[in-house]
Structure 1
Amino acid sequence: EFGRTYVVKPKGKHQATIVWLHGLGDHGGSWSQILETLPLPNIKWICPTAPARPVSLFGGFPSTAWFDIRDLSEDAPDDLEGLDASAAHVVNLLSPEPRDSWCLLPS
């Protein structure tokens, strides 16, 4: 189950929405506080929190993670089920937003 989603509303006219995904073991709230201070008054920030799940890299110890990380090698198998669930969650968060406000950034 996904954790709490934090939203930083724009201080000016809403022109774009960005979904900010935290790193392994973090949560959306820590980033929402930082993003709120940026001089970007027309941006709405959506900061979801990943579910707590067993992380193979940590010996199965639970941590907030968008997907399982088995090891850090490039050829490690991807957790497609976890990736798909997280991607669907992001799409669901964006569904009420006007499409012309979405900012899709390459990784």
Structure 2
Amino acid sequence: MAASSSRNGANVLDLKCSHFVEPQGDQRASIVWLHDKDEHFTDSVQFVKSLKLKNVNWICPPIVYTNTSYDFGSNIKQDDREALDSAAKFVADLLLREPLNVVKGVGGFGMGAVVALQFATNCALGHYPINPRVVVGINGWLSITGSITSSIEYTVGAVARAASQKIFFTRGAENRLLPYTREEEVVESLREAGFGDVFFLIYSWLRHEHHLDIRDMLKLWLELSLPITKTSPLR
């Protein structure tokens, strides 16, 4: 594995393969899960396995977007934006390889959450021929909060694509990782832009461990948002 670009603190790994946690039973959903800058893709594997969702194919690629010079909103540097968009496109390419008849999703921690939210936004704006049903951002942020509403409003089809996405957005109570803004501003921007069912939660976080509450809450949210159980609403 080798880095294909490293500019001004932004780094995207260009990888030939990814790690899959295959479904136990019929595959009904495919979700790309991205780790944080201080984690390894095996951390993602362990976390998604702990959710015990039998009908989901999890894709946990060894990819990380690392930005050490991030400035919020419209002040993001062009090199950083290009690296972030490259990471989001990598996610799109992974999901486009999945069966057409399964629903798609993306999520992650920290910098992985940044990529997940950027991917969701790019999908709403029609950058890829795909649109995720579920998006999870844990201890991450949205890179274009200040302009997302106008971008959605002035892009043909973006309103409908955004409305079909469900977003689970959280941060740890002990950690405050969002730069130059408040989480509530990100949530409000997503809602104003028309994204569907934006769920915001502050959860307990102890050192580098994923608290049981957030895991159980996420599992329940995914079960209600995806057609992966007999009681899941098919929306």
The TM-score normalised by the length of structure 2 is 0.35
* Letter matched to residue 82 of structure 1: A
- Does residue 80 of the first structure (1) align with residue 63 of the second (2)? no
Instruction: State the shift of 1:74 in Å.
Output: 3.1
Secondary structure of residue in 2 paired with 1:99: coil
1:5-54 residue CA offsets vs partner (Å, 9 max, x unmatched): 2110001110000001111221211110221232210011001112xxxx
Which residue of structure 2 aligns with residue 30 of structure 1?
A: 43
Which residue of structure 2 aligns with residue 91 of structure 1?
A: 92
Do the aligned residues in 1 keep the contact of 2:30 with 2:57 (CA within 8 Å)?
yes
Instruction: State the shift of 1:100 in Å.
Output: 3.8
Q: Matches of 1:49 and 1:23 in 2, distance apart?
A: 10
Larger relative CO (CA 8 A, sep 6+): 1 or 2? 1
Q: Matches of 1:69 and 1:99 in 2, distance apart?
A: 37
Secondary structure of residue in 2 paired with 1:20: strand
Do the aligned residues in 2 keep the contact of 1:67 with 1:82 (CA within 8 Å)?
no
Which is strand-richer, 1 or 2?
2
- RMSD across aligned C-alpha pairs, in angstroms? 2.1
Instruction: State the shift of 1:84 in Å.
Output: 1.4
Which residue of structure 2 aligns with residue 12 of structure 1?
A: 25
Aligned residues with identical type, % of pairs: 30
Instruction: State the shift of 1:85 in Å.
Output: 1.1
Which residue of structure 2 aligns with residue 58 of structure 1?
A: none
Q: Which runs of 5+ in 1 are unaligned?
A: 51-64
Q: Which runs of 5+ in 2 are unaligned?
A: 4-12, 106-131, 136-166, 170-235
Bigger radius of gyration: 2
Which residue of structure 2 aligns with residue 61 of structure 1?
A: none
The TM-score normalised by the length of structure 1 is 0.71
Deviates more, 1:73-82 or 1:18-27: 73-82
Do the aligned residues in 2 keep the contact of 1:19 with 1:90 (CA within 8 Å)?
yes
> What is the total number of aligned residue pairs between the two structures?
92
Which is helix-richer, 1 or 2?
2
